[in-house]
A and B are shown apart, each in its own frame.
Chain A
Amino acid sequence: MLWRMALVGAILAAGGVMSVAALEPYTVVGDAIPRPLGGLAGNATRGAALVRDRERGNCLICHQGVEAAEPFQGTIGPPLAGVGTRLDAGQIRLRLVDSARLNPQTVMPPYFRTENLHDVAQQYRGKPALSAQEIEDVVSYLASLKTF
Protein backbone atom coordinates (compact mmCIF):
# COMPACT_ATOMS: atom_id res chain seq x y z
CA MET A 1 0.00 0.00 0.00
CA LEU A 2 2.73 2.41 1.04
CA TRP A 3 4.84 1.79 -2.01
CA ARG A 4 1.77 2.29 -4.14
CA MET A 5 1.12 5.67 -2.52
CA ALA A 6 4.75 6.60 -3.03
CA LEU A 7 4.42 5.67 -6.69
CA VAL A 8 1.30 7.82 -7.06
CA GLY A 9 3.16 10.66 -5.36
CA ALA A 10 6.06 10.29 -7.76
CA ILE A 11 3.72 10.32 -10.74
CA LEU A 12 1.89 13.38 -9.39
CA ALA A 13 5.19 15.15 -8.78
CA ALA A 14 6.27 14.38 -12.32
CA GLY A 15 2.83 15.36 -13.64
CA GLY A 16 3.77 18.96 -14.28
CA VAL A 17 6.64 17.87 -16.47
CA MET A 18 4.74 15.10 -18.21
CA SER A 19 1.73 17.24 -18.99
CA VAL A 20 3.70 19.85 -20.91
CA ALA A 21 5.26 17.22 -23.17
CA ALA A 22 5.09 18.62 -26.68
CA LEU A 23 2.40 17.32 -29.01
CA GLU A 24 3.44 15.48 -32.14
CA PRO A 25 4.34 18.20 -34.67
CA TYR A 26 2.42 18.53 -37.92
CA THR A 27 2.45 20.61 -41.08
CA VAL A 28 -0.61 22.31 -42.53
CA VAL A 29 -0.79 22.34 -46.32
CA GLY A 30 -3.74 24.32 -47.67
CA ASP A 31 -6.77 23.21 -45.65
CA ALA A 32 -5.25 19.87 -44.66
CA ILE A 33 -2.66 18.07 -42.56
CA PRO A 34 -1.63 15.53 -45.20
CA ARG A 35 0.62 13.35 -43.04
CA PRO A 36 -0.60 11.21 -40.12
CA LEU A 37 0.28 12.58 -36.66
CA GLY A 38 3.44 10.90 -35.37
CA GLY A 39 3.40 8.68 -38.48
CA LEU A 40 0.75 6.57 -36.71
CA ALA A 41 -1.68 4.29 -38.53
CA GLY A 42 -5.35 4.76 -37.65
CA ASN A 43 -7.82 2.00 -36.86
CA ALA A 44 -11.34 2.68 -38.15
CA THR A 45 -13.02 0.30 -35.70
CA ARG A 46 -11.47 2.06 -32.73
CA GLY A 47 -12.35 5.37 -34.41
CA ALA A 48 -16.02 4.39 -34.68
CA ALA A 49 -16.06 3.66 -30.94
CA LEU A 50 -14.38 7.00 -30.13
CA VAL A 51 -16.97 8.91 -32.17
CA ARG A 52 -19.77 7.36 -30.07
CA ASP A 53 -17.95 7.38 -26.71
CA ARG A 54 -19.43 10.12 -24.51
CA GLU A 55 -16.22 10.60 -22.54
CA ARG A 56 -13.66 10.65 -25.34
CA GLY A 57 -14.71 11.82 -28.80
CA ASN A 58 -18.35 12.46 -27.95
CA CYS A 59 -18.82 13.58 -31.58
CA LEU A 60 -22.52 12.70 -31.58
CA ILE A 61 -23.26 15.40 -29.01
CA CYS A 62 -23.10 17.84 -31.97
CA HIS A 63 -23.12 15.66 -35.11
CA GLN A 64 -25.53 13.11 -36.50
CA GLY A 65 -23.66 9.86 -37.06
CA VAL A 66 -24.42 7.11 -39.54
CA GLU A 67 -26.47 4.86 -37.25
CA ALA A 68 -30.10 5.94 -37.31
CA ALA A 69 -30.76 3.69 -34.29
CA GLU A 70 -28.39 5.69 -32.06
CA PRO A 71 -30.67 7.79 -29.82
CA PHE A 72 -30.29 11.51 -29.23
CA GLN A 73 -27.82 12.75 -31.82
CA GLY A 74 -26.76 16.38 -32.14
CA THR A 75 -27.82 18.88 -34.80
CA ILE A 76 -25.04 21.45 -34.46
CA GLY A 77 -22.31 20.27 -36.82
CA PRO A 78 -22.76 18.76 -40.28
CA PRO A 79 -23.97 15.13 -40.43
CA LEU A 80 -21.10 12.64 -40.63
CA ALA A 81 -22.63 10.40 -43.31
CA GLY A 82 -20.63 10.69 -46.52
CA VAL A 83 -17.96 12.93 -44.96
CA GLY A 84 -15.35 10.71 -46.66
CA THR A 85 -16.64 11.85 -50.06
CA ARG A 86 -16.54 15.54 -49.16
CA LEU A 87 -13.14 15.61 -47.44
CA ASP A 88 -9.99 13.52 -47.71
CA ALA A 89 -8.10 12.16 -44.71
CA GLY A 90 -5.78 15.18 -44.51
CA GLN A 91 -8.67 17.64 -44.57
CA ILE A 92 -10.52 15.68 -41.88
CA ARG A 93 -7.31 15.60 -39.80
CA LEU A 94 -6.97 19.41 -39.73
CA ARG A 95 -10.65 19.83 -38.86
CA LEU A 96 -10.20 17.52 -35.86
CA VAL A 97 -6.82 18.92 -34.78
CA ASP A 98 -7.70 22.61 -34.80
CA SER A 99 -10.69 23.70 -36.85
CA ALA A 100 -10.16 27.33 -35.81
CA ARG A 101 -7.26 27.50 -38.28
CA LEU A 102 -9.92 27.41 -41.01
CA ASN A 103 -12.63 29.40 -39.23
CA PRO A 104 -11.70 31.46 -36.16
CA GLN A 105 -15.39 31.61 -35.11
CA THR A 106 -15.94 27.85 -35.24
CA VAL A 107 -17.73 26.00 -32.44
CA MET A 108 -15.81 22.82 -33.35
CA PRO A 109 -13.44 22.26 -30.42
CA PRO A 110 -9.73 21.81 -31.07
CA TYR A 111 -9.06 18.14 -30.30
CA PHE A 112 -5.29 18.31 -30.61
CA ARG A 113 -4.23 21.63 -29.16
CA THR A 114 -3.02 22.78 -25.76
CA GLU A 115 -2.04 26.39 -26.49
CA ASN A 116 -4.16 29.56 -26.25
CA LEU A 117 -6.86 27.95 -24.15
CA HIS A 118 -8.26 29.62 -21.02
CA ASP A 119 -9.42 28.29 -17.65
CA VAL A 120 -8.86 24.67 -18.65
CA ALA A 121 -9.90 22.34 -15.80
CA GLN A 122 -6.93 20.99 -13.85
CA GLN A 123 -7.36 17.39 -15.03
CA TYR A 124 -7.27 18.41 -18.70
CA ARG A 125 -4.56 21.07 -18.50
CA GLY A 126 -1.65 20.61 -20.90
CA LYS A 127 -3.33 17.63 -22.56
CA PRO A 128 -5.06 17.48 -25.93
CA ALA A 129 -8.69 16.29 -25.96
CA LEU A 130 -7.61 13.32 -28.09
CA SER A 131 -4.18 11.72 -28.43
CA ALA A 132 -2.38 11.51 -31.77
CA GLN A 133 -3.38 7.85 -32.00
CA GLU A 134 -7.02 8.65 -31.25
CA ILE A 135 -7.04 11.42 -33.88
CA GLU A 136 -5.68 8.95 -36.45
CA ASP A 137 -8.32 6.36 -35.45
CA VAL A 138 -11.14 8.89 -35.91
CA VAL A 139 -9.62 10.10 -39.22
CA SER A 140 -9.57 6.51 -40.49
CA TYR A 141 -13.18 5.96 -39.52
CA LEU A 142 -14.51 9.25 -40.92
CA ALA A 143 -12.57 8.91 -44.18
CA SER A 144 -14.26 5.51 -44.63
CA LEU A 145 -17.77 7.03 -44.50
CA LYS A 146 -18.45 7.20 -48.23
CA THR A 147 -22.20 6.64 -48.37
CA PHE A 148 -25.16 8.72 -47.31
Chain B
Amino acid sequence: MATTLPPYATTGQKIWYYAFRVFCGLVFFYLIFPILIVIPLSFNAQDFFTFTPEMLRLDPAGYSLKHYRDFLGANGDYSWLQAFSNSLIIAPAATLLSVSLGTLAAIGLSQPHVPYKRQIMALLISPMIVPLIITSAGMFFFYSSVSLQGTLAGVILAHAALGIPFVIITVTATLSSFDRSLTRAAANMGADPVTTFFKVQMPLILPGVISGGLFAFITSFDEVVVVLLVGSAGQKTLPWQMFIGLREQISPTILAVATILVVISIALLTTVEMLRRRSEKLRGMSPG
Protein backbone atom coordinates (compact mmCIF):
# COMPACT_ATOMS: atom_id res chain seq x y z
CA MET B 1 0.00 0.00 0.00
CA ALA B 2 1.72 3.11 -1.07
CA THR B 3 0.67 6.62 -0.19
CA THR B 4 1.09 7.89 -3.68
CA LEU B 5 0.57 6.08 -6.91
CA PRO B 6 3.84 5.59 -8.75
CA PRO B 7 3.76 6.71 -12.40
CA TYR B 8 4.48 3.17 -13.60
CA ALA B 9 1.39 1.68 -11.88
CA THR B 10 -0.60 -0.77 -13.96
CA THR B 11 -4.34 -0.39 -14.59
CA GLY B 12 -5.05 -3.11 -12.07
CA GLN B 13 -2.99 -1.31 -9.47
CA LYS B 14 -4.81 1.92 -10.25
CA ILE B 15 -8.24 0.32 -9.85
CA TRP B 16 -7.13 -1.30 -6.64
CA TYR B 17 -5.69 2.01 -5.37
CA TYR B 18 -8.86 3.97 -6.02
CA ALA B 19 -11.20 1.23 -4.86
CA PHE B 20 -9.28 1.13 -1.61
CA ARG B 21 -9.52 4.90 -1.20
CA VAL B 22 -13.23 4.92 -1.99
CA PHE B 23 -13.86 2.11 0.48
CA CYS B 24 -12.00 3.98 3.23
CA GLY B 25 -13.90 7.14 2.37
CA LEU B 26 -17.18 5.26 2.77
CA VAL B 27 -16.07 3.94 6.16
CA PHE B 28 -15.18 7.44 7.32
CA PHE B 29 -18.59 8.55 6.12
CA TYR B 30 -20.23 5.69 8.03
CA LEU B 31 -18.30 6.72 11.15
CA ILE B 32 -19.15 10.36 11.09
CA PHE B 33 -22.49 10.67 9.27
CA PRO B 34 -24.79 9.45 12.06
CA ILE B 35 -23.18 11.89 14.45
CA LEU B 36 -23.40 14.88 12.19
CA ILE B 37 -26.90 14.14 10.91
CA VAL B 38 -28.47 14.95 14.27
CA ILE B 39 -27.17 18.52 14.12
CA PRO B 40 -29.30 19.82 11.20
CA LEU B 41 -32.24 17.67 12.28
CA SER B 42 -32.22 19.32 15.70
CA PHE B 43 -33.21 22.62 14.09
CA ASN B 44 -36.33 21.10 12.58
CA ALA B 45 -39.31 23.35 13.16
CA GLN B 46 -41.57 20.32 13.37
CA ASP B 47 -41.68 17.25 15.55
CA PHE B 48 -40.31 14.95 12.87
CA PHE B 49 -37.12 12.95 12.81
CA THR B 50 -36.47 13.36 9.16
CA PHE B 51 -35.90 16.29 6.81
CA THR B 52 -39.11 18.09 5.95
CA PRO B 53 -39.58 19.48 2.40
CA GLU B 54 -39.11 22.99 3.83
CA MET B 55 -35.76 22.00 5.28
CA LEU B 56 -34.60 20.50 1.99
CA ARG B 57 -35.54 23.76 0.21
CA LEU B 58 -33.45 25.56 2.85
CA ASP B 59 -36.57 27.56 3.65
CA PRO B 60 -35.91 29.45 6.92
CA ALA B 61 -39.46 28.58 8.02
CA GLY B 62 -38.43 24.93 8.15
CA TYR B 63 -35.88 25.65 10.83
CA SER B 64 -36.28 26.81 14.40
CA LEU B 65 -34.74 26.64 17.84
CA LYS B 66 -37.93 25.09 19.24
CA HIS B 67 -36.24 21.93 20.51
CA TYR B 68 -33.52 23.94 22.22
CA ARG B 69 -36.12 26.11 23.92
CA ASP B 70 -37.87 22.97 25.10
CA PHE B 71 -34.58 21.71 26.46
CA LEU B 72 -34.27 24.94 28.42
CA GLY B 73 -37.77 24.53 29.81
CA ALA B 74 -39.75 26.86 27.54
CA ASN B 75 -42.67 24.41 27.62
CA GLY B 76 -42.73 24.48 31.41
CA ASP B 77 -40.94 21.18 31.65
CA TYR B 78 -37.62 21.66 33.40
CA SER B 79 -36.73 17.97 33.60
CA TRP B 80 -34.06 18.19 30.87
CA LEU B 81 -32.37 21.11 32.56
CA GLN B 82 -32.59 19.40 35.92
CA ALA B 83 -31.06 16.26 34.47
CA PHE B 84 -28.31 18.29 32.84
CA SER B 85 -27.41 19.98 36.11
CA ASN B 86 -27.43 16.63 37.93
CA SER B 87 -24.98 15.34 35.36
CA LEU B 88 -22.83 18.39 35.93
CA ILE B 89 -22.64 17.57 39.64
CA ILE B 90 -22.11 13.83 39.36
CA ALA B 91 -19.55 13.70 36.54
CA PRO B 92 -17.02 16.17 38.01
CA ALA B 93 -17.29 14.65 41.48
CA ALA B 94 -16.73 11.14 40.13
CA THR B 95 -13.87 12.41 37.96
CA LEU B 96 -12.14 14.08 40.90
CA LEU B 97 -12.35 10.89 42.91
CA SER B 98 -11.05 8.61 40.17
CA VAL B 99 -8.31 11.00 39.07
CA SER B 100 -6.89 11.62 42.53
CA LEU B 101 -6.88 7.97 43.58
CA GLY B 102 -5.98 6.77 40.09
CA THR B 103 -2.99 9.06 39.63
CA LEU B 104 -1.49 8.06 42.97
CA ALA B 105 -1.94 4.40 42.13
CA ALA B 106 -0.51 4.83 38.64
CA ILE B 107 2.60 6.42 40.12
CA GLY B 108 2.85 3.52 42.52
CA LEU B 109 2.39 1.02 39.70
CA SER B 110 5.15 2.52 37.60
CA GLN B 111 7.76 2.12 40.35
CA PRO B 112 10.38 -0.40 39.29
CA HIS B 113 9.60 -3.13 41.83
CA VAL B 114 5.91 -3.66 42.46
CA PRO B 115 4.83 -7.06 43.73
CA TYR B 116 1.80 -8.56 41.92
CA LYS B 117 1.86 -5.70 39.43
CA ARG B 118 0.12 -7.61 36.67
CA GLN B 119 -2.66 -8.85 38.91
CA ILE B 120 -3.24 -5.42 40.39
CA MET B 121 -3.42 -3.90 36.92
CA ALA B 122 -5.89 -6.56 35.82
CA LEU B 123 -8.06 -5.79 38.82
CA LEU B 124 -7.98 -2.03 38.31
CA ILE B 125 -8.82 -2.28 34.60
CA SER B 126 -11.65 -4.75 35.14
CA PRO B 127 -14.45 -2.14 35.56
CA MET B 128 -13.98 -1.39 31.86
CA ILE B 129 -14.32 -5.05 30.89
CA VAL B 130 -17.12 -6.37 33.11
CA PRO B 131 -20.49 -5.93 31.36
CA LEU B 132 -22.34 -2.95 32.76
CA ILE B 133 -25.47 -4.91 33.50
CA ILE B 134 -23.47 -7.14 35.86
CA THR B 135 -21.69 -4.23 37.50
CA SER B 136 -24.92 -2.35 38.02
CA ALA B 137 -26.87 -5.35 39.31
CA GLY B 138 -24.07 -6.07 41.78
CA MET B 139 -23.92 -2.45 42.86
CA PHE B 140 -27.69 -2.41 43.23
CA PHE B 141 -27.58 -5.34 45.67
CA PHE B 142 -24.50 -4.23 47.56
CA TYR B 143 -25.25 -0.51 47.75
CA SER B 144 -28.75 -1.40 48.98
CA SER B 145 -27.26 -3.37 51.84
CA VAL B 146 -25.09 -0.43 52.93
CA SER B 147 -27.75 2.28 52.44
CA LEU B 148 -26.12 3.83 49.39
CA GLN B 149 -28.74 2.84 46.81
CA GLY B 150 -30.66 5.85 45.58
CA THR B 151 -28.20 8.36 46.98
CA LEU B 152 -25.98 10.90 45.30
CA ALA B 153 -22.93 9.46 47.08
CA GLY B 154 -23.75 6.00 45.71
CA VAL B 155 -23.95 7.20 42.11
CA ILE B 156 -20.69 9.15 42.46
CA LEU B 157 -18.86 6.16 43.94
CA ALA B 158 -20.18 3.89 41.20
CA HIS B 159 -19.19 6.26 38.43
CA ALA B 160 -15.77 6.85 39.96
CA ALA B 161 -15.16 3.09 39.89
CA LEU B 162 -16.07 3.02 36.18
CA GLY B 163 -13.65 5.87 35.45
CA ILE B 164 -10.65 4.30 37.19
CA PRO B 165 -9.45 2.13 34.26
CA PHE B 166 -9.18 5.12 31.97
CA VAL B 167 -7.11 7.12 34.46
CA ILE B 168 -4.85 4.14 35.12
CA ILE B 169 -4.34 3.45 31.41
CA THR B 170 -3.54 7.01 30.39
CA VAL B 171 -1.39 7.93 33.39
CA THR B 172 0.68 4.72 33.36
CA ALA B 173 1.18 5.23 29.61
CA THR B 174 2.56 8.73 30.28
CA LEU B 175 4.68 7.49 33.15
CA SER B 176 6.17 4.64 31.13
CA SER B 177 8.06 7.16 29.07
CA PHE B 178 8.89 9.33 32.07
CA ASP B 179 12.62 9.70 32.62
CA ARG B 180 13.21 8.46 36.14
CA SER B 181 16.64 10.15 36.34
CA LEU B 182 14.81 13.45 36.63
CA THR B 183 13.41 12.58 40.05
CA ARG B 184 16.80 11.27 41.12
CA ALA B 185 18.39 14.49 39.98
CA ALA B 186 15.85 16.48 41.97
CA ALA B 187 16.46 14.32 45.01
CA ASN B 188 20.20 14.74 44.56
CA MET B 189 19.80 18.47 44.61
CA GLY B 190 18.04 18.26 47.93
CA ALA B 191 14.33 18.31 47.00
CA ASP B 192 12.13 16.24 49.31
CA PRO B 193 9.78 13.70 47.69
CA VAL B 194 6.74 15.99 47.92
CA THR B 195 8.54 18.89 46.24
CA THR B 196 9.89 16.51 43.63
CA PHE B 197 6.42 15.23 42.90
CA PHE B 198 4.80 18.63 42.43
CA LYS B 199 7.71 20.46 40.79
CA VAL B 200 9.15 17.76 38.56
CA GLN B 201 6.91 14.79 38.07
CA MET B 202 3.49 16.42 38.05
CA PRO B 203 4.09 18.96 35.27
CA LEU B 204 5.38 16.20 33.03
CA ILE B 205 2.59 13.74 33.58
CA LEU B 206 -0.14 16.37 33.79
CA PRO B 207 -1.29 15.91 30.18
CA GLY B 208 -1.82 12.21 30.86
CA VAL B 209 -3.67 12.99 34.07
CA ILE B 210 -5.94 15.47 32.36
CA SER B 211 -6.79 13.22 29.45
CA GLY B 212 -7.44 10.36 31.87
CA GLY B 213 -9.71 12.74 33.77
CA LEU B 214 -11.55 13.66 30.60
CA PHE B 215 -12.09 10.00 29.82
CA ALA B 216 -13.41 9.47 33.34
CA PHE B 217 -15.63 12.52 32.94
CA ILE B 218 -17.17 11.37 29.67
CA THR B 219 -17.64 7.89 31.09
CA SER B 220 -19.76 9.24 33.91
CA PHE B 221 -21.41 11.86 31.72
CA ASP B 222 -22.54 9.11 29.30
CA GLU B 223 -23.40 6.37 31.69
CA VAL B 224 -26.99 5.15 31.94
CA VAL B 225 -27.24 1.54 33.10
CA VAL B 226 -25.62 2.02 36.50
CA VAL B 227 -27.44 5.23 37.27
CA LEU B 228 -30.75 3.61 36.30
CA LEU B 229 -30.27 1.01 39.01
CA VAL B 230 -28.12 2.71 41.64
CA GLY B 231 -29.71 6.15 41.33
CA SER B 232 -33.15 7.45 42.15
CA ALA B 233 -35.21 10.31 40.74
CA GLY B 234 -33.14 12.89 42.60
CA GLN B 235 -30.06 11.86 40.64
CA LYS B 236 -31.67 11.61 37.22
CA THR B 237 -28.89 12.36 34.76
CA LEU B 238 -29.01 13.50 31.16
CA PRO B 239 -28.43 10.01 29.69
CA TRP B 240 -31.15 8.63 31.97
CA GLN B 241 -33.59 11.25 30.70
CA MET B 242 -32.56 10.44 27.12
CA PHE B 243 -33.01 6.71 27.68
CA ILE B 244 -36.55 7.26 28.96
CA GLY B 245 -37.27 9.50 26.00
CA LEU B 246 -35.99 6.90 23.56
CA ARG B 247 -37.71 3.92 25.10
CA GLU B 248 -41.06 5.53 25.69
CA GLN B 249 -41.79 7.98 22.92
CA ILE B 250 -39.09 9.63 20.88
CA SER B 251 -39.31 13.25 21.92
CA PRO B 252 -37.62 15.55 19.39
CA THR B 253 -35.94 17.38 22.27
CA ILE B 254 -33.52 14.44 22.22
CA LEU B 255 -32.09 15.81 18.96
CA ALA B 256 -31.23 19.11 20.62
CA VAL B 257 -29.66 17.31 23.57
CA ALA B 258 -27.73 15.06 21.20
CA THR B 259 -26.37 18.09 19.37
CA ILE B 260 -25.27 19.68 22.62
CA LEU B 261 -23.54 16.46 23.61
CA VAL B 262 -21.81 16.20 20.22
CA VAL B 263 -20.48 19.73 20.66
CA ILE B 264 -19.22 18.81 24.13
CA SER B 265 -17.49 15.72 22.73
CA ILE B 266 -15.82 17.77 20.03
CA ALA B 267 -14.53 20.16 22.68
CA LEU B 268 -13.23 17.32 24.85
CA LEU B 269 -11.63 15.54 21.91
CA THR B 270 -9.84 18.71 20.84
CA THR B 271 -8.50 19.20 24.36
CA VAL B 272 -7.26 15.62 24.57
CA GLU B 273 -5.60 15.80 21.17
CA MET B 274 -3.85 19.05 22.06
CA LEU B 275 -2.67 17.60 25.34
CA ARG B 276 -1.40 14.47 23.66
CA ARG B 277 0.65 16.44 21.18
CA ARG B 278 1.95 18.75 23.88
CA SER B 279 3.02 15.83 26.01
CA GLU B 280 4.70 14.11 23.07
CA LYS B 281 6.53 17.30 22.28
CA LEU B 282 7.56 17.72 25.94
CA ARG B 283 8.97 14.24 25.96
CA GLY B 284 10.51 14.73 22.57
CA MET B 285 8.64 11.81 21.04
CA SER B 286 7.03 13.35 18.07
CA PRO B 287 7.73 16.21 15.75
CA GLY B 288 4.29 17.55 16.68
A-B interaction: no
State the A residues within 8 Å of B (CB). none
